[in-house]
Amino acid sequence: MPKRTAKNVIGPTIRKLRAAARVPLSQEALAAKLQIRGVSLDRSALARIENRERLVRDVEIIALAAALRVPIERLFRR
């Protein structure tokens, strides 16, 4: 079986930031914060992003950074 190619670089960082929040966020809670910002991602889509199995659109990156209360650049740090 061929090795899967990562579809994004920010997934693991999103997982870490979500877990490290002052009040840790579940994927469902993060999805709700994104919905308020006009981005519709469910728990399954967030899991696929965190596992680097899904591409992330630019508007989703902006909303993720806002929901996690970090600068966009922080999502790209390794």
CATH number at residue 38: 1.10.260
Mean pLDDT taken over the chain: 95
d(CA 36, CA 16): 22
Q: Is residue 31 part of a domain?
A: yes
Q: Is residue 3 part of a domain?
A: no
Residue for token digits 């390794």? 78
Task: Report pLDDT digits (tens) over 30-50.
Answer: 999 999 999 999 999 999 999
Number of domains in the chain: 1
Range of the domain at 42: 11-71
* pTM score, whole prediction: 0.91
Helix H segments across the chain? 11-20, 27-36, 43-50, 58-68, 72-75
Tell whether the model's pLDDT for residue 2 goes beyond 80: no
